[in-house]
Amino acid sequence: MARRPLPRILSNGTAQIARSRELARTAADSATDVLHPLITITKGLRRLASAGRRRWTDTPKDKRGPLLFLVAAVILVVALVPYGPLLAAIILMAAAAWHGRDRTPPAPEGPDESQTQRLQSLYEALVPYFSTAEDPAPLFAHGGDWEKAFPAYEFDGAGRISHLVVRYPAYFTDGEADSRARIEQLLTAKSGRSREYHFAWDEEGNQLTIGVLAPLPTDIAAQRFVTAPGETVLGFTDPTQVHRTLPLTHGEEQRDVPPVVWRTGIRSTEPNLLVMGQPGSGTSTLLRSIALQALQYGDVLIVEGGGTGEYACLTGRDGVLAVECGLSGALASLEWAAHETERRLIAANRARQSGHPAPDDTRRPLWIILDRPSAFAHVAAADGYKDPQSLLQVPLRHGRAANVTVVVADQFDSADTLSDAVRQHTRARVVLGPATAAQLEAVLGAPPHTTPIAQVPPGRGYARLGNGPVHRLQVPATPDPYDDATNDAHRQAVLALLPPRTTPADAAETVATEAVVEAAVAETS
């Protein structure tokens, strides 16, 4: 049977509604233009009536009688004079139109004296970079006209530049990163170093657009994010960078914030993550946030090289295989993780060859989280053990096919101790805390389109997933709930996300060690 087409009202109802709204809006604008004189006179009459009422209220009671007599006399004279009522009506309408006019002062056209001086000084500072002696008609010249070079500009309430469009000559080498970096550094210094700027280079149109970025929210606490399995929220960024928002709860308020979502799993192109930062920059906070999200759908193995107990709250929790802080425990756990990755690969391969789906025990995601693994390198070399990072080669290389994800976090001063496997197989990168442009480019593989500032809150930085763009990032507040200096609201938010404790804390390490030993025995047999 042939399918009947939808009624016309259903097929193009949206377009008709849009046209109807546009017609209604046009009619309302036309009516406002036609009735504008009447609206002005009505507003003026209301203001005159209010003024008369205030005058009557302010008049003493002993003088209200003579005032009434005077008003009555004036009305009588106007009524007796030829054309008096008509003249009185004309005068009243004129007074109402005068009092009902729009008294909003017009916006000043063009910059004031201080703004002009700021633009002129910025123009003079750009002359050495945007001019050459061979140019017969230079756009930038000492004592030249800045209005041709700056076609658009805006200032904030403090008189500083908040938006600026710069035209530059076509011979400027805008395709070279060093040339762009010099201009961005100069504009940042002349516009104010305490703010973060976004630079958009239009190489075809020879224009540079500078905008001031609003600070990212730092008050978003850890919570259950609306994501699909295999999606992890690293933090939040600018609304112009991503085309997705997440509904978040902030106290009693609900708001939508654009996230930076990292996708893991078999079809992920960036299955592993590397986090770099300075001490106190929030790398452990990000790892705790990732662990709490991973525990919704998988198992987590944590190795902490700092030995500060940042992950003690996860010990013995459901889904947490182990939380290791010592060298021996780290080696045993990572060796088990390598064997588990190989076992999953073999089981999945046998199932595919037999034409069966992968076993259930290979589908559950396994997360290996390492915080400061470089701290074990010196201790392992002194005691004659191998570096724990050498055991990450199999999970890093083949973990995606086995649903194994590796997250490594370390500090800039220990970047040289990271193994080649960690450097090569972590395509998702995050940099937190203050960092120079060279450090950002070295870790992320590309410079950000914003200017990094010296003072940043914890958890603030940049993120890049594979070959994608560099995003500004603010990690959700996920502190250690056992820290006395933690905000109580953030502590309760983290405690609410923790899985139930199925294994006593003092027995968790023993159970994990036994599991590692049993797996090693099974492999050897």
Q: Is 445 annotated as a binding residue?
A: no
∠ at Cα 37 (33, 40), nearest 5°?
A: 110
Helix (H, G, I), strand (E, B) or coil at 167: strand
Q: Is 389 annotated as a binding residue?
A: no
Q: Is 307 annotated as a binding residue?
A: no
Helix (H, G, I), strand (E, B) or coil at 276: strand
Say which amino acid occupies 360: D
Residue carrying structure tokens 């919570």: 223
Q: Is 281 annotated as a binding residue?
A: yes
Q: Is 282 annotated as a binding residue?
A: yes
Residue carrying structure tokens 């559950």: 364
Give the dihedral of Cα atoms 8, 11, 14, 16; nearest 10 deg.
-20
Q: Is 84 annotated as a binding residue?
A: no
Give the helix/strand (H/E) hosting 287.
helix 283-294
DSSP string, 213-232: PPPPP--PBP------TTEE
Contacts of 418 (CB under 8 A, 6+ apart): 374, 389, 408, 410
Whether 475 and 432 have beta carbons less than 8 Å apart is answered as yes
Give the separation between CA 282 and CA 103, rounded to whole angstroms. Answer: 52
**Alpha-carbon radius of gyration of the chain:** 35
- 199 - beta bridge partners? 210
Using DSSP bridges, classify how beta strands 207-212 and 161-167 pair: parallel, antiparallel or unpaired: antiparallel
Whether 319 and 297 have beta carbons less than 8 Å apart is answered as no
Residue carrying structure tokens 């452990």: 284
Residue 173: burial class (beta carbons within 10 Å; 0-12, 13-18, 19+): exposed
Helix, strand and coil content of the chain, in percent to the nearest 5, comes to 45, 20, 35
Give the separation between CA 303 and CA 329, rounded to whole angstroms. Answer: 8
Residue 58: burial class (beta carbons within 10 Å; 0-12, 13-18, 19+): exposed
Say which amino acid occupies 510: T
Residue 260: burial class (beta carbons within 10 Å; 0-12, 13-18, 19+): buried
Give the separation between CA 151 and CA 131, rounded to whole angstroms. Answer: 18
Helix (H, G, I), strand (E, B) or coil at 364: coil
Give the separation between CA 505 and CA 373, rounded to whole angstroms. Answer: 23
Whether 394 and 338 have beta carbons less than 8 Å apart is answered as yes
Binding residues: 277-284
Binding residues for ATP: 277-284
